[in-house]
Structure 1
Amino acid sequence: MATAVKVDEDAKSRLEELQAEVRLRTGHNVTQQEILTRLINDAYESHEAFVDSFRDTTVPLSEDEKETMQRGRISSGVETDEEDIDDILYG
């Protein structure tokens, strides 16, 4: 079952370039549908990174964002070690 998907001219051109590159390097003729299916499957395998690529913000934080976070930190005067954290989290 094939469904039409609209892409802009730049994307269409890149898809055609990929198709030609596969044919040139491997000697195999592949359809644009095969290329898109492979790209979608690859993106799905690492979908966390793919989804994150659509976020407005980036990780790691910028230097300005790091400075803003550090300015908001205060010291409670109480030293906390790993056992304290485990007790708080896991009881």
Structure 2
Amino acid sequence: MATAVKVDEDAKSRLEELQAEIRLRTGTTVTQQDLLTRLIDDAFESRDDVIDSFRESTVPLSEDDKEAMRRDRFRSGVETDESDIDEILYG
């Protein structure tokens, strides 16, 4: 059973371009439905990458973000080592 999916004009154009390139390079005609199915199958194999692509923040940080973090740092005057951190976090 096929279901309609709305895509913007840019996405539709890129899908058609990919469809045409497949035909040009392989001599095989594929439907947009087959192409989308293949793309989804491929994305499913690397689903963590797809999920991560929707996160708001990215790692590594941009240079602007790094500079903002450096700018907002301050020294409390108290020496802290790993055991202090463990005690604070884990009690």
- Scaled to the shorter chain, the TM-score interval is 0.5 to 0.7
TM-score (norm 1): 0.65
Using the TM superposition, name which of 70-79 and 16-25 deviates more: 70-79
47 and 24 in structure 1: CA distance in 2 versus 1, 3 angstrom threshold: same
TM-score (norm 2): 0.65
Alignment of 1:10-89 (within 5 A): 10-44=10-44, 45=47, 46-52=49-55, 55=56, 57-76=57-76, 77-81=78-82
The answer for unaligned runs of 5 or more in structure 1 is none
The separation in 2 between residues aligned to 1:19 and 1:88, in whole angstroms, is 57
Q: Is 1:9 aligned with 2:9?
A: yes
What is the aligned residue count? 87
Q: How far off its partner does 1:4 sit?
A: 0.9
CA RMSD of aligned residues (A): 2.6
Give identity over the alignment, percent. 66
Q: Which runs of 4+ in 1 moved over 6 A?
A: none
Match of 2:64, SS state, is: helix
The separation in 2 between residues aligned to 1:35 and 1:71, in whole angstroms, is 48
